[in-house]
Structure formats: C-alpha cells, structure tokens
A and B are shown apart, each in its own frame.
Chain A
Amino acid sequence: MELLVASGIGVLTAAGIYLVLRLRTFPVILGTALLTYAVNVFLFASGRLVVGAPPILMDDASRYTDPLPQALVLTAIVISFGMTAVVVMIALGAFLGSDDDHVDDQDGALDPVRKLERAE
C-alpha cells in the first residue's frame, strides 16, 4: 500500500514538473495543480497511512490516525484553490492584454532594462 501511495506521489510530481516547464500558461497552471496534489498527499502521508481509523472520537474505537496533518492539509487545499484562481486570473489578464499566452518574456517585452536599451 505504501509503495502505491509513494509511487503515486512520484508520478504526480513528475507530471507536474514536466507541465510546469512548458511554454504556455495553461499547461503550467495544470502542472502546478498536479504539484499541489502531490504535495498535499505527501503532507497527509507524513501522518503515515492508516486505514479505517478516522480521527472521530468514538467509544468503541481503539485507535485513531494522526489528525494534525489532516487539519493542515485541509486548509492547504482551500488556500491552493485561492492561489490557483489568482494565477489563472493573472494568466488570463496577460493573454487578454497582449494576445499572447507565452510564459517566457517575448523579446524582452517585460524587461525594463531591455526596454530602456531599445529606447536609447
């Protein structure tokens, strides 16, 4: 079971990194989403994997899983939504402003130094 989760994290990370290295904004956003999954699962797994012992106090339960990583990951999931939304908005704004969704600065368009040099 541990091997499955660990390799799952690995696969998600690899795909995430690959997509983050793409040249257009949308794949990069997808890549960060994948990395978010990987990191969240990793953080969650730091409480170790326990099946069938949710941290809900019950009289007949004998053991519980570690609740703390769960609480931390729960807020992380929600915050990552907020951050994804911001990044998507920035990407959208950049595309609508310049009709270009490249991640890299095209011909130094954003670089103040190059802009200055061109002006000179």
Chain B
Amino acid sequence: MSLILVVLMPFLGALLPGVLYPAGRRTCALGTLAVSVIALIGLASNLPALLNGEVVTQRIEWLPALGLNATFFLDPLGAFFATLILGIGCLIIAYGRYYLSRDDDMGEFYTYLLLFQGAMVGIVLSDNILMLLVFWELTSLSSFLLIGYWRHLPEGRQGARMALAVTGMGGLALIGGMLILGQIAGSYDLTVILENRDAIQSSDLYLPALILILLGCFTKSAQFPFHFWLPHAMAAPTPVSAYLHSATMVKAGIFLMARLWPVLSGSEAWFWLVTGAGLITVVLGAVIALFKHDLKALLAFSTVSHLGLITMLLGTGTAFGAMTAIFHILNHATFKAALFMSAGIVDHEAHTRDIRKLGGLRHLMPVTATIATLAALSMAGIPLFNGFVSKEMWLEEALHTTLFGPEWLVPAVATVGALFSAAYSFRFIFHTFFGKERHDYPSHPHDPNPGMWLPPAFLVSLVLLIGLAPFLAEPLVKGVTGAVLGSAAEVPEYHLAIWHGFKPPLYLSAVAVAGGILLLLLHRWLQKGWDVVPRPEAKTIFDGVIAGCVWVARRVTCVLHDGAFTRYAAILSVAILAAAVHAFLTGTTGPATRAMQPPSVVAIATWVMLVAATGFLVFVHRHRFAALILIGIIGLIVSVAFAFFSAPDLAMTQISVEVVTVVLMLLALNFLPKTTPVESGMLRRARDAVIACAGGIGAGALAYFLLLRDFVSAPISEYHLENSYAGGGGTNVVNVILVDFRGFDTFGEIIVLGIAAMVIYALTEALLRGPVRARLLNRVPETPLAGDRHPLMMVVLTRVIMPVLLMIGVYIFLRGHNMPGGGFIAGLVVAVAIVQQYMASGYAWATQRQRFPYHGIVGAGVLIAGLTGIGAWFTGHEFLTSSFTYIKLPLLDEFEVASAMGFDLGVFLAVLGAVLLSLESFSRMARRAYTEESEYAMDIDPSRENRTGGTD
C-alpha cells in the first residue's frame, strides 16, 4: 500500500466510528479495529523493500514554490515507530471496547483515537518537515480532545488544557527551530537536511535552532522542567494513557531527537542540554513515582523517568547510546502499555486506583496480577525480562559518560534512578496485588472479560520473549539504529544478551534492586517524611502563571478597549491624518501635467448646491427626517456628476441605489427616535470639527493633486477598450468589464451582497424571536398614525406604473451589454418597482402575492452566475470566459446572444433578491409592531364598501 494511503487510512477511518456507533458498540469497535489493521498491513506490505535496504519514498507536489510538498518516506526508524503506533493502537482499540462503559460515547472516543493515530503515523513517515509540524500540532490537538474526553470531570478539562498549553507552546518553538533548520539546509525535506550535518553544525543559527527544537521535544516527551503536564494528563481514560502517554505520543519528542540525531547531536550544547535534562528527569520522575498513591500517577512519573532515560541515551551522542535508546523504546512500550492497561483493569474492577485502598488482589484477580507483576518486574530491571537487558546497557553507557565534572557522578545518579525505579515497581506489585486479601473495596473485583486482559497479556509475552531471547530483537534494533545513525556513525558491534559476565553494570544493577527492596521495606516511614517536606507544586505554579497572563491581558484590553467607539473613530481618523501628513512631507509631488478644465455655470451651480446641502445636513442632522431628505439630495447631485463626467452606468446605479437606501432608512426611522438630542459640549464639537476639517482638506487636496496629474504608468484601460467588442462582444465597456474581464470580481461581489442580505435576514429573525418582539408589540407610536395609510391614489398609481417599470428593467437589462445598463441597474430598478407595491399596498397584501422567497432568488442568482462561468470549461476556456454569437430571428433585426447574458442574469437576480430581502426584513419588523395589517390594498376602498353593503 502506498505510504500516503497508510497515513490517510486512520484519518479516513475516523469517519467510521461515528457512523457505526448506532449499529452497536461491537460493530463500532470492530470497524475501528479494521481501520488500524488495514493500515498496519499496508505498512507491512512495504517491508520487503525495506529489508532490501531501500528507502520507500512518495512525493506529491503541492506548493513547490514554498517548499511545501507532501513527501513521505519509510526507513527502518519510521517503520519501527509506525509499527509501534499501529500495533499498540490495535491492542488499545480492542481493550477500549471493554474498558468504556455504556454511558461513554464510543464513536467519539474512537474518532479521536484514530485522528491521533493518523497524526502520529504522519509524524514518523513525513519527509517534509513543514508537514511533520502540521502532524505534530495535530497530535497535540487530538491529545487535548482525548485527555478531556470525560468532559464532566474538572481534572480532565484542566489536564487537557495544561497538556495543550505546554505541548502547544513547545510546538510553536519547534516550528521556529525547524524553519531555521530548513533555512540552513536550503530544503524542507528531512532527507536533504540529514545530509547537511556540517553546514548545520557550523552555522551561527545552530544553537537557536537546537534550543527551539529541544523545547518542542522536551515538552512533548515530558522532560524536566516540562514534565509536570504528563501526570495531570492521567485524567484521561486509561486506554488513552496507555496509548498516548506511555507508548506513542510522548515518544514523538524522542523520535524527533532520534530522527535529527545525525545532524544535531555530537555538539557540546546538545550533550549538555539533552543528557542533563534526561539525567535530572530520570531521578526526579523515579523519586516522585515512589510516593504517589494513585496507580496511574505512579506509572505516569515512571514514564517521565523512563523517557528521561531514553533522552539521556540520545544525548550522549555515541552510537551505543543511540542503539540502547532504540532498544529501550521498544521495551518500554511493551511493559509500560501493559502496566497501564493492568492499572485500568484494577480501576475498572475495584473502582479505585488508590494504592492505599488496594492489596491482596492476586487472590481475586489472578490473571491480571500475573500480567501486571511480570510487566512491573521488567520495569524494575529484573533479569530474564526485557527491561533488564536495556537497563544494563544504559548503566554501561552511564559508566562512560562524564557530566558536570567528576567521573563517578553520572553512574551514581543513574544508579539512584534505577534504585528508585526498582522501588516503585516493587511497590506497585506488592501494595496492589500482594498482602492480605481485603474486603473493603468500593466494588468487588474479579478478573475481567478476556477482551480486556488479552491485549496486555500479548504485550507481556513480548516482554518475556525479548527478555529471555534478546538476540531475537537484535536485527530489528540494529536495523533501526542504522537508520538513526545514518552516515554519522557505524552501528556498534554489540550483541544483545542477558549475560555479559561479571561487569560493573551488573553490580550497579544488583545495588539498584537491593536498594529498591530496602526502600520498599522502609516505605511507610519514607512516605511520612515525604508528606511533611514542602515541595513546589507544578500545577499551582502553572495556574499562577496562566492567571498572571490573563490578568495582564485583561488590563491591556480594558485600557485599550473601553467601549468608547466614538473615541476609536477619532483616534483612527487622526492616525490616518498623521500618516497622510507624513507621506505629504516626505514624498515628492511632480508638477501639474494636466490643464484645469474651465467650469461651466451649471457645474458651479451644482457645486454650490452640493456644498449647501452638505452644510445644511451637518447643521440639521438632529432632525433626522430632514437629514434624510438632504442625503437624498446629495446622492442625486453625485449621480448627476457621474452622468456629467461620462459615466452613465454609474449615474443610473447611484440614483436607483439612492432610492432604496432612503426607503431603507425611512423604515428604520420608523422605530428609531426622530431627533438626536444635544449631548456633546462646544469643546467636543470644536474638536470634532477640527478633525473633520483636517480630514476634508486632506481628502480634497489629494483629489486635487491627483486630478491635475497624468497617470504615472499607462493604465490597462486601453486593453479593455480594444478588446471589449472583439473579445467580449459588447460595446458598453463598463458592462463588459463587469461580466467578462473582471467577472470573477463581480461574482465575488454578488456573493458578498447576498451574504449581507442574509445577515440582515438572520438578524431580523433573531430579533423577532427574542425579547425585542414583546417590546415591539407593546410599542406605542410617537406620532399619531395616518388614517389612510394606503391611499387609493397611490395604490392605483403604483400598480399602473409597475408594468412600465418592469419593462424598463427588462429593457435596461437587455441593452446592458452594448448601452448603459446591465444586471446591476436592472436589478435595482425592478426592486424599486416591487418596493413601491409594499409601500403603497401594505406588507400583508404584497407578501400574499410573493411567489418566490427572496433568499431563494439571491441563491438562484449566484448559482446561475456560477454555472454560466463553469459553462466556459466545456468549451475549453477558463472560468467565466464569455462566448457570443449573432442570430437572426424572423421579423427582428439580427441580435447578439452572449453567454455573458447568463452571468448578467445571475447578477440581476442576486441584486434584486438582496435588495428586497433587506427591505422586507425591515418591514417584517414593522409588521410586528402596533399596526394591524389589513389584507386589502387600500384602507378606504369605495368598491369594497359597495360590495359589502350590497350583501348585508
């Protein structure tokens, strides 16, 4: 199976659990299991090539200019991790089927689990580091969802937040580090980066890149000082803890360190940072683990400790260290996942994980006890178990490592770590399963369904197999080590075996085990001492930091965003003015190149009218109706100006928009206060006037300078003028630009218009359903209503004029391609014709006669426009290329048929629908208020009175 499919499989499969869940828990689990198994088989199908020493790669070019390609490659390291992820994934899915209770939504759980699985496989198989980063963040997100799966538990929510905050922050650092790495290597492909060891290590940016990458790895793999999130993540369901927080996700950081080992390791900084952090983590985790009472917390800190062990091994920078790290990853994954699953079984059966309430369970659940004991012995490093073999090798490596001065320090610290590790393992075994049988469990425990203990049993059989016959794992470990080392070093000549003779590591091991037993015996007193000593609590510190950040953010927001919108507007205006003044003072202006055109008397008169209307508007704006009339006058003058300066299309659009805008504002004024009270003092008004005048002078000056100068570079309009008829088939260049040259813009614009109309519709809906509705119904109009609100004369007139207006609309639409007009203007004109009916005959009357919903018309318009554009594909052209032809029908002149007509029809419908939808929304509001609607068009209708009088 191709690598892309292997990665995609869990993502595609993530759709299954939700679909299958209604069919039953069994089907759901089986379906999820099938996905993982198929992915695993798909991965295995690549093994023959891998065994031949090939590296399987697959590449899809996506954004080559950005270096962003979907590139996957499979080498032994990737295959090793992918097998761990998918293999343990299968076991976890089987285990989870029996672990989850009937109240848990299994579909949701498995969906998250598969998402996580896909992201993890993506990390280990990605060749492109940018893609790797995306998968990396995806694991943080899916881990967040899984930890918080039981969202009714506050610990779950807090743990999920903390894990996301820590790993997410690390992820950001990692992005920075990886980008630097890619910059140094000149490629974002891992395979290329791995070959540039010298360039990377000698670069000045090596240290920042290293620190950022290690931040990402340490947070993910819970290394000191970022170890604190992992124990809190234990609020997750146990399958999640077993899968994410012991076997796979926390190993992502380790994986990345191993992957980048050939290019990053070997330097002083790497050695100090990685080995140091690892060593501290080993001891810290092991010591805390001994004193935890919660089984899962104990295992969590033990995981922290073991991850530290692996980190330290990678940090030493020797080939032997890398090999031991790989071997221990394998061993840790087997025994720790089994231990977590056993802890989950205990919790599931006894309803408690508190080690103080447990004991003697071996009598009640012998199978679980056996599995857990074997796995824990491996964790303790007892001979004949796999944990022993790799721990021996670790001590061997520690003996050859010198850090912080004295030679004995690292071996001594490592032994202390091993000692505590043995101690907590023994405590896990003896305090849970041995001792006297108790009868005060919250629930009576017994061995669970085989489906629950078989997965850990399988892992424990691996523990024993590798422990008894380590040479079986040797080819695997050496193969993977070869992939880690790359060309940087040779795979060491070392044979994995139980017995290496009486050598120092064995003595250290013996000390550790003996000390572990001693600590267990002394545990009661040690625990008392531990409980008395005050320690910094990571969660408290973390919460404090978060609370501090929130406090600062809140202060800043409070100061910057105090709700005084008017002041924001003033600040914005002044800022724009300041930028303009800066540009004016520092920039250069060329001499005027165009002569001023002499003004005509009419033009001057119009100008005077405009200035007068605007001035009046400012002075009387408190009388809102008067202001509306003045706005109408200004709009009219603007459209006259358009017409005067050779823009007939604009003039027509402006005047029809003016009509609908004024109608709209009138409808709104129906509810708003009719006057604006005087509130701001003289000073405030003077300030605003100064800002306004400065802005006006600036805008005017800019326009004046612009108008007297020629274009800096030749405008592209020549092209439009030349090709309008030849290419677009129309003589109205403006319209051809709209429907053809820049059709895509227009398409976007009608969509925006449609969205605006929908927003208004939705707002109206929301208002009319909420408390506003009651207010509207209880509203008393400010002014007495007209007795005859739908006068006869007006009704008759609007109805007579309607067909005329519609015909004008059709005419404007049809001629639009060649003469001023087109879909926009026609839509507005027809909208005005219909709005007249609403105004004259009343909302109820008009609504009864409305055949199509307006949002439907908007949608149809956008759809028709889009389909017309797509139609161009069938003639082999780009989206929205128009084609046209001329046909002749009998009795008519020859006329043109252009596909642009279809597009213009879409524009027409979208504009019509949007305008009517907005106006209708306002009038719906009016209808809810105080007025009783009559179904008749006219309030006073002589003919109706005659009729009713006749029948009485």
**B657 an interface residue at 8 Å Cβ cutoff?**
yes
Q: Which residue of B lies closest to A96 (CB)?
A: B772
- Interface size for chain B: under 10, 10 to 19, 20 to 34, or 35 or more residues? 35 or more
**B692 an interface residue at 8 Å Cβ cutoff?**
yes
A2 to chain B, nearest CB (A): 4
In the bound assembly, the distance between CA atoms of A26 and B700 in angstroms comes to 25
In chain B between 720 and 737, which residues have their CB closer than 8 angstroms to a CB of chain A? 720-721, 724-725, 731-734, 737
In the bound assembly, the distance between CA atoms of A2 and B370 in angstroms comes to 96
List chain B residues, Cβ under 8 A from A14. Answer: 692-693, 695-697, 699
In chain A between 63 and 79, which residues have their CB closer than 8 angstroms to a CB of chain B? 64-68, 70-71, 73-75, 77-79
User: Does A11 contact B733, Cβ atoms closer than 8 Å?
Assistant: no
B569 to chain A, nearest CB (A): 5
List chain A residues, Cβ under 8 A from B701. Answer: 6, 10
A6 to chain B, nearest CB (A): 4
Given A2-B596, A42-B699, A67-B734: A18 and B562 interface contact (C-beta under 8 Å): no
User: Does A70 contact B647, Cβ atoms closer than 8 Å?
Assistant: yes
In the bound assembly, the distance between CA atoms of A115 and B672 in angstroms comes to 27
- Interface size for chain A: under 10, 10 to 19, 20 to 34, or 35 or more residues? 35 or more
User: Does A114 contact B703, Cβ atoms closer than 8 Å?
Assistant: no
List chain B residues, Cβ under 8 A from A96. Answer: 671, 767, 772, 775-776
List chain A residues, Cβ under 8 A from B648. Answer: 54, 56
List chain A residues, Cβ under 8 A from B676. Answer: 22, 24, 26-27
Bitwise interface map of B from 652 to 680 toward A, beta carbon under 8 Å scored 1, else 0: 01100100110011001101110011011
User: Does B657 contact A103, Cβ atoms closer than 8 Å?
Assistant: no
In the bound assembly, the distance between CA atoms of A17 and B635 in angstroms comes to 17
In chain A between 101 and 120, which residues have their CB closer than 8 angstroms to a CB of chain B? 101, 103-105, 108-111, 113-114
**B921 an interface residue at 8 Å Cβ cutoff?**
yes
User: Does B734 contact A4, Cβ atoms closer than 8 Å?
Assistant: no
In the bound assembly, the distance between CA atoms of A12 and B703 in angstroms comes to 12
In the bound assembly, the distance between CA atoms of A19 and B721 in angstroms comes to 40
Partner of A81, one of B661, B668, B669: B661
Partner of B646, one of A19, A50, A103, A110: A50
**B780 an interface residue at 8 Å Cβ cutoff?**
no
In the bound assembly, the distance between CA atoms of A10 and B702 in angstroms comes to 9
User: Does A113 contact B717, Cβ atoms closer than 8 Å?
Assistant: no
In chain A between 34 and 69, which residues have their CB closer than 8 angstroms to a CB of chain B? 34, 37-38, 40-42, 44-58, 64-68
User: Does A65 contact B763, Cβ atoms closer than 8 Å?
Assistant: no
In the bound assembly, the distance between CA atoms of A6 and B704 in angstroms comes to 5
Bitwise interface map of A from 80 to 104 toward B, beta carbon under 8 Å scored 1, else 0: 1111111011111101110101011
User: Does B645 contact A50, Cβ atoms closer than 8 Å?
Assistant: yes
User: Does B672 contact A95, Cβ atoms closer than 8 Å?
Assistant: yes
User: Does B680 contact A88, Cβ atoms closer than 8 Å?
Assistant: no
In the bound assembly, the distance between CA atoms of A8 and B685 in angstroms comes to 22
User: Does B664 contact A70, Cβ atoms closer than 8 Å?
Assistant: no
**B494 an interface residue at 8 Å Cβ cutoff?**
no
A78 to chain B, nearest CB (A): 6
Q: Which residue of B lies closest to A76 (CB)?
A: B749
List chain A residues, Cβ under 8 A from B598. Answer: 1
In the bound assembly, the distance between CA atoms of A115 and B81 in angstroms comes to 51
Given A2-B707, A103-B565: A54 and B646 interface contact (C-beta under 8 Å): yes
Q: Which residue of A lies closest to B628 (CB)?
A: A30
User: Does A6 contact B672, Cβ atoms closer than 8 Å?
Assistant: no
Additional 11 contacts, C-beta under 8 A, given A10-B696, A74-B649: A1-B597, A4-B604, A15-B615, A17-B692, A18-B689, A21-B573, A37-B638, A42-B703, A45-B703, A64-B646, A75-B745
The 20 listed contacts between A and B (C-beta, < 8 Å) are A3-B596, A6-B700, A7-B611, A13-B700, A14-B693, A17-B691, A24-B679, A27-B676, A30-B627, A45-B706, A48-B707, A57-B724, A57-B732, A57-B733, A84-B661, A86-B760, A86-B763, A93-B766, A101-B672, A111-B562
